[in-house]
Amino acid sequence: MRRILASLILLGCGDGGTTPPECGVAPDAGSGVATITVGTDVYDYSGFHWGKNNDCPATGSAVVSVTIRGNQTGKASGLGLCLPRPDLIASAAIDLGDSTRVQLVGATAVAGACTSTMGPTKPIGTVTFAGFCTEAGTTFAMTLAGQVEGTKTCGTGPSTPVTLVIGGQTLVVAQ
The 10s digit of each residue's pLDDT in 12-54 is 443 444 444 478 887 766 678 999 999 999 999 999 999 999 9
The average confidence (pLDDT) of the chain is: 88
The percentage of the chain sitting over the pLDDT mark of 70, rounded to a whole number, equals: 86
pLDDT at residue 160 greater than cutoff 50: yes
In three-state form (DSSP H/G/I as H, E/B as E, the rest C), the secondary structure along the chain is CHHHHHHHHHHHCCCCCCCCCCCCCCCCCCCEEEEEEECCEEEEEEEEEEECCCCCCCCCCCCCCEEEEEEECCCCCEEEEEECCHHHCCCCCEECCCCCCCEEEEEEEEECCEEEEECCCCCEEEEEEECCCCCCCCCEEEEEEEEEEEEEEECCCCCEEEEEEEEEEEEEEEC
pLDDT digits (tens, 9 = 90+) for 101-141: 999 999 999 999 999 999 999 999 999 999 999 999 999 99
Mean pLDDT of 129-155: 95
- So what's the pLDDT on residue 31? 74
- Higher local confidence (pLDDT), 156 or 7: 156
Segments making up each domain of the chain, as ranges: 2-174
Which pLDDT tens digit goes with each residue over 56-99?
999 999 999 999 999 999 998 999 999 999 999 998 999 999 99
- Inform me whether the pLDDT recorded for 158 exceeds 80: yes
